[in-house]
Each structure stands twice: as structure tokens, then as C-alpha cells.
Amino acid sequence: MLATRATVAPLLGAVLALPAPDLAADSLVSPEACDQAGLSAYWQVRVPLLPGERVEGVYPRDRQVYLTTNMGVLVAVAADTGLVRWQVSLAEHGSTIHAPFNVGSDPQTGYVLVTTVSNLFLLEQLDGGVLLKLPLRLPPSGPAVTDGSRVFVGGNNGWLHAIPLHDGFLKWRAEGNLIDRTIWLNALGPSGLIGVERPAPMGIWGGDWSLRLGSPVPSPVALSDGRLYFATEAGRVFCVTSADKREIWSRQLRGGISGTVAVDAGGTYVAGTDHSLYCFAPGDGSLIWRYRMDGPCETGPVLTDDTLYQLSTGAGLYAVELPSGSLRWRLEEGRQLLARDGAVAYILAGEDLAVVDNAIGRIRHRLAVGSADLAAVNTEDPAVYLCNSNGTLICLQPKLVPYLRQEQVRREMRRPSEAFQAVDAEVRDIVESSERPPAERHPLESTSPAPRPPGEPPPAP
């Protein structure tokens, strides 16, 4: 059965009255070294884990940071405050949880799409309530994504599948259209976890289209202007329409592809094991430029507004200028971009966090982060997220960012409670309605949970 865990408050180095030696000892990074690098430990939190459980993935998404564990648990941490909002068990011990995909950026109203080896889940961002669970016939080759109308997921059998939403799910609370399927609404009430079976909206899941590719899609598709951009392990790059899988263009590379495809108005960017980073025109797939590197590219490029960051095995991290495709700099010990702050790039270099001048690639400062096992790629803001396998997650911010205050955390802690109260009330309404004996119901009363349209009078007595 799906379950949630307790909420945890973060450690505020600048707010709580803790002895400095204890804070330094408990922190993943040295506060003094942070200060010298122009950073501050904005918050740090220890996520409660079970014996033998360890963190395996860290994914910043909008205003939340998601962690995945080896026991099939997904954890959501508020990016603004470090508050652990919820933890939900979605898969068996040892099963993979792919990178989550947010639907909407506001945790108060948004959803998160999560792919495991056997199921697709749609959860509430705010409280982790499981709104939808869809069994998958075959293991997916990577994370699922959605454009709000369809869910797109690749299979290990070399097919890409589109599952329609028909806009029904996102309007479910307001419209309540019914079919003979169920979803689970979960709420953490006074007596613990409550699972209430509820009819799902009309036409959420049904056949739409599948595309046979002959090779797995190892990474999530990129969505842009009604088109899907993706690549197969065999080295073929595709652009198809999201509505009907019509191929607009495709290109074959000389090597394989195991990383993501990045897209913006200026190009479709993909890297291959043939030591090359490519830029294709999004409209017709014509080659705009190709940059050859000194080693194979086994991960995809990280795209920012003016630079592509590409790891080349054995050769380091390349910063390629956009839109020209010329080399800006190469850092031989570089492993990945962590975040950008204007002219400064935060780069994982060996076991250090390097503060790099993004114009020329010169390292301004180094910060030892060897105690961290995981580092997240964040292209949304300057925050750097580091984590170790035992569940300690730290957020580093530029020193110019105002300190996190206790009132911010208190305000954040009240939000889930308010949300749970609202969901508890909805759950009680559903339970009470289902338990009422037939004699108490009016003969003309509808059994649908859909609200009465505005202006429609109640049934006549």
C-alpha cells in the first residue's frame, strides 16, 4: 500500500541558535569555505531514511527538490525553505524511479508525473497524494513527460507511446466526469493514511498512438511547439508531431546516443559517442554546426541561455558558446554544471565545487565537497544542491541572497496542514456520501460527485 512519512524541518545555519562547532561538523561543506567562495549554506536538512535505505537521485524541479531512494521512495523538499513536504513509497526495494516531471510550477496547484519500472504515477506536488496509478505493460526506457494533453514514454522494446489526457484529468476536481476506472486519493488525516477509491475522469487513459523505433529512447523527450524531439540508443534523432506522430525530420549519427536532447529556438542539440556535439535546425533538421570533442559523449548537453555544457569522457567539461557553436572553454577536471549565477558557473570538478568565470573558464574559488555523494544539475536559478547517500541535503546560495528566516519556514509548515485539512474534508464527504443508506437519498439526486452547474436549482421535493 502506498504510504507517506513525517514532515521534517530544515537546519538554518543563519537563524537557529546552534553552537558554531556543531553546525560546522554537521554541515556537508565548511561554512568558512563557503564564505570565501561567495556562497552561503542557505539550508540543510536530514531526510529520515530506513535502515539500509540510501538516496540515489536529486532532481530540482521548479520550487521543489525531489530525492529518490533505493527502496523505491520519492521525497519532496521545498526548495525555498528545505522543509521535507512528503515521502511516498512508489516501487519495490531496488526498483528504479526515473526523474520526475512537474506539471505546473506552483506546488499549491501542480502535479508531478513519476515513472517507475512498472507504473506511471500522477501525484499532488504539495502533499504527495497519489491521484493516478497506471500499470505499464513493459519497463520504460526513461522518464515520462507530458504536454498537458498526452503522456509520452519510451519502452525498452523500442517503441514510443503517447497516452492521452484529453484535458480531463486537470479538470477532474471541477467536472467529475466518470468512467469505470478508479484512482486513489490519499490524505494524511488524524488517524493516519486514508485511501479512498474514487471514479476517474472521462477519457483519461485510452489508445492514442505508438511509434516503432527499433531502438530504446534512453532519455525523456523534449517538448516544443507541438513537436517532440528525441533520440534512440542507435543514434537516430527524431522530430515528430505530438498529436499524431507524423515525422517532420530525422537524422542518423555515426555513433550511439545515451543522453538527453535539448531544444530552444536556435537549435536541437544532441551529443553522441562519435565524440561530437550537434546542432540541428528545429524546423527541418538541417545541420547548423558540429563540434568535435576529444572523447565520447555519454550524457546529454545542459542548455542555458547562452552556453551548452557537455561532458566528454576522458576530456572534461566543454562550454560551447551559443548560437555560434564555438568553444568558450574546457575544464579538464570538470564533471557537470551545477548552476549558473550570471557570469559565474558552479562546476563539479573532481571532489570540489569550482566557482568558474563563465567567459574564460578560469577557476576563481574552490570548495571541497567530497562528503557529498550526489550533485544536482539546476538551470532554473543559482542554487546549488548537494546530497549524501544517508539523506543529508544542502542548498548553497550566493551570499547576496537574503538569509532564510524562521518565519518563512513556519509559513511553509502551515501550508501542508491547510492542504491536508481541505483534502480530509473532501475525503469525509466522499465516505459519508457512500455510506448513506439509499433511503436517505432523494430519488432524483444524482450519484455523480460533479458539482451542480451554476444556476441549476436543487431537485424538487
pLDDT score recorded for residue 454: 57
pLDDT above 90 covers a percentage of the chain that reads: 58
Phi, psi of 27 (to 5 degrees): -75, 145
CA separation for the pair 107, 426 (Å, rounded):
19
387 - beta bridge partners?
374, 393
* Residue 275: pLDDT band with limits 50, 70, 90: very high
pLDDT at 107 over 60: yes
Domain ranges of the chain: 27-73+333-401
Q: How far apart are CA 394 and CA 437, in angstroms?
A: 53
Of residues 184 and 455, the one with the higher pLDDT is: 455
Residue 32 vs residues 274, 392, 456: alpha-carbon distances, Å: 43, 19, 66
Q: In terms of pLDDT, which residue wins out, 108 or 215?
A: 215
- Of residues 238 and 138, more confidently modeled: 238
Could you please report the per-residue DSSP string of 199-246?
A: EPPTTSS---EEEE-SS---SPPEEETTEEEEE-TTSEEEEEETTT--
- Please report which helix (H) or strand (E) contains residue 85, including its range: strand 84-89
Instruction: Count CB-CB contacts under 10 A for residue 115.
Output: 28
The reported pLDDT for the residue numbered 166 is 53
What digits encode the pLDDT tens for the residues 49-81?
999 999 999 999 999 999 999 999 999 999 999
pLDDT band at 6 (very low <50, low <70, confident <90, very high): very low
Q: In this predicted model, what pLDDT tens digit does every residue of 319-345 receive, in sequence order?
A: 999 999 999 999 999 999 999 999 999
Give the rounded distance of the alpha carbon of 438 from its chain centre. Answer: 45
Contact 121, 130 (CB under 8 A): yes
Global pTM reads 0.79
Average pLDDT rounded to a whole number, residues 200-215: 64
Which of 12-26, 295-309, 386-400 comes out lowest in average pLDDT? 12-26
